[in-house]
Structure 1
Amino acid sequence: MRARVPAAAVSLATGAVAWELIGRLAGVSFFPPLSTVAVRLAEMAAAGEILQSVADSLVNLLIGFTISLVAGLLVGVAMGRYRKVEAALGVYVYALLTAPALVFAPIFFSLLGDGRGSIIAVVVMYATFVIIINTASAIQSVPAHLVEMARSYGASERQVLLRVLLPAATPMIMAGVRLGVGRAVTGMINGEMFIAVVGFGHIVTEAGGRFDSASVLAVLLVIIAVALGAVWLVQAVDRRLTGWVPQTSRGSQ
């Protein structure tokens, strides 16, 4: 951990300096310097725009990702454990994963209107299927001899699932959850921009309409901060659940 913090700080500082220099040297309106964006962000925060948008967007993200997580884990475990379930649902899961989620926006709009429900539906479409696939693959990757050993000691199907399969599959499942939370943030922004025009999407749409690049980039910084915060929370849960896993493949440099 000590080795990663300085590296991250150096990387962020380098990116900030590069942004400032490129913005000043390029002299184009669509890519203002970081200092200009920071000033605009402070103005928006003082006016209360950022706080309200963060609150609206976080509600959409939290509800949508919670639904995605529960559905993704349940369906993924069922597909990974039972071949008939995988045969029945697999084609739909892979089809929906590869389909652009926004193509369903008109359907959500017509069914749920232009409120929060449509945005949450888009978040669910973005995040659910990658969690399903990773969870199913994780369950299927558990060595068969572990299940056979548990069976030989008289373990029931429920005990095999809870005490053998899920613990062994947790590291790979959490990798899917990390991917899912990133896709959920993307779905939240797209839903807010193209359906309800609230939260971050509302600010981006309005600022883009008046070609206010500083405001767009200011919101982008906040979105990145929200995404990194969500990923950090998932990683914290991941470390707590998989602390027993030896990190043999990770270098120390």
Structure 2
Amino acid sequence: MMLFGYRLPMMSSLLVWCLIWEIVGQLDLMFLIPPLSSVVVAMVELIQTKQFLAATAVTLRSFVTGMVLAIVAGVSLGVLMGRFRAADRLLGMWVNLFVSAPLSALVPILMILFGLGDATIVATVFLFAVWIIALDTQAGVKHISGSLVEMSRSFGASQRDVYLKILLWAALPEILAGIRLGMIRGVKGVVIGQLLVSVIGYGELFELYSRNFLMERFWALTILVFAFAILVSELVGAIEKRVEYYAGVRQ
């Protein structure tokens, strides 16, 4: 970022927005936006409460379980669609439909199927994440040269070896890209699911704080959720950079 010929640090824009937030909050223009300094103080207090720690444990358990299921199912589905034209024709339309569909509208249906508990949140995370993982995996598999598979078979590789040692490794950059996007969508799914269920995890806290106009804690929890989404995205992105090698040698 350049300003008057000077290069500013990448965090400069964030600091500007923080300053604007603080000024708007101090002017007390609307009760929904408290000063950022008050939000930070509330955040420090919030992360020390037993209620927040319990909600975090519930949310993380649902998120991790849903993401593991989404990764396994999404990668398997993507490999299937990438390798077999019939599978692509049969499933591709539905995968693209669910990627673009407003999935939050399906959460009430999941509540009827799985009840008002962890199972609904796990299913929501899975539903939000699995489709983008499948699409990116399919793209990675389709980019693999057929000569790699032919070479592996000429050296006596079994069908299992072709999938586990050739296809998955060669498509790894796209698989990781799909997992990164899936995790971001999974964070969205776990929060939306808990908000609509409103009885467990962060959804219960969001409902409590908004209903009682505890806006400092509401915004503190929102910032923590955003920070978690950015953190998981950056962690997977760092792994992506370490496996870029495979994108160049799979031809």
2:109 is aligned with what amino acid? I
Alignment identity in percent? 33
Does residue 244 (structure 1) correspond to residue 245 (structure 2)? The answer is: yes
| Contact 1:97-1:129 at 8 Å conserved across structures | yes
Distance across 1 between alignment mates of 2:219 and 2:27: 18
SS at match of 1:114: coil
Once the two structures are TM-superposed, the CA of residue 246 in structure 1 deviates from its matched residue by 8.2
Cα-to-partner distance string for 1:197-220 (whole Å, 9 max, x where unaligned): 321111111211233322211101
1:135 partner letter = T
Distance 1:46 1:148, change over 3 A: closer
Check whether the contact 1:119–1:196 (CA below 8 A) recurs between aligned residues: no
The whole-number CA distance in structure 1 between the counterparts of 2:11 and 2:219 is 21
Q: 1:200, 1:7 → 2: CA distance?
A: 33
- Higher mean C-alpha displacement, 41-50 vs 182-191: 41-50
Q: Which residue of 2 aligns with 1:192?
A: 194
Could you tell which deviates more after superposition, 215-224 or 146-155?
A: 146-155
- Tell me, in whole angstroms, the C-alpha distance in 2 between the residues paired with 1:7 and 1:127: 33
Task: Give the Cα separation in 1 of the matches to 2:37 and 2:239.
Answer: 35
Q: Structure 1 residue 23: deviation in Å? A: 2.7
Q: CA deviation at 1:16?
A: 3.2
Tell me which residue corresponds to 1:91. Answer: 93
**Equivalences for 1:20-35 in 2 at 5 Å?**
20-25=22-27, 27-35=29-37
Is residue 202 of structure 1 aligned with residue 204 of structure 2? yes
CA shift, 1:17, in A, is 3.2
Q: CA deviation at 1:244?
A: 3.3
Separation (CA, whole Å) in 1 of partners of 2:152 and 2:73:
27
The answer on whether the counterparts of 1:116 and 1:196 sit within 8 Å (CA) in structure 2 is no
Per the TM alignment, residue 231 of structure 1 is displaced from its structure 2 partner at its CA by 2.2
Q: How does 1:1-253 map to 2 (within 5 A)?
A: 7=9, 10=12, 12-25=14-27, 27-240=29-242, 242=243, 244=245
* CA distance, structure 1, for counterparts of residue 28 and residue 247 of structure 2: 48
Residue pair 1:115, 1:196 contacting (<8 A) in 2 also:
no
SS in structure 2 opposite 1:211? coil
Q: Give yes or no for contact 2:129–2:185 (8 Å, CA) kept in 1.
A: yes
| Whole-angstrom CA distance in 2 between matches of 1:25 and 1:145 | 66
Aligned-partner residue type, residue 99 of structure 1: A
* CA distances 1:128-184 after superposition (whole Å, capped 9, x unpaired): 100011101110111333334434445443333233322221111111110000000
TM-score by length of 1: 0.84
**Contact 1:31/1:213 (<8 A) preserved:** yes
CA RMSD, aligned part only? 2.4
The alpha carbon displacement at 1:87 in A equals: 1.9
Tell me whether 159-168 or 113-122 shows the greater mean CA deviation. Answer: 159-168
Mapped to 1, the partners of 2:212 and 2:123 lie a distance apart of: 29
Which stretches of structure 1, 4 residues or more, deviate above 6 A after TM superposition?
none
Amino acid at match of 1:70: V
Unaligned runs of 5+ residues in structure 2 are 1-7
Decide whether the 8 Å contact of 1:54 with 1:199 is kept in 2. yes
CA separation in 1, counterparts of 2:118 and 2:206? 17
**How many pairs align?**
241
Using the alignment, how far apart are the partners of 1:100 and 1:246 within structure 2?
A: 32
Q: Do the aligned residues in 1 keep the contact of 2:59 with 2:202 (CA within 8 Å)? A: yes
2:240 is matched by which residue type in structure 1? Answer: D
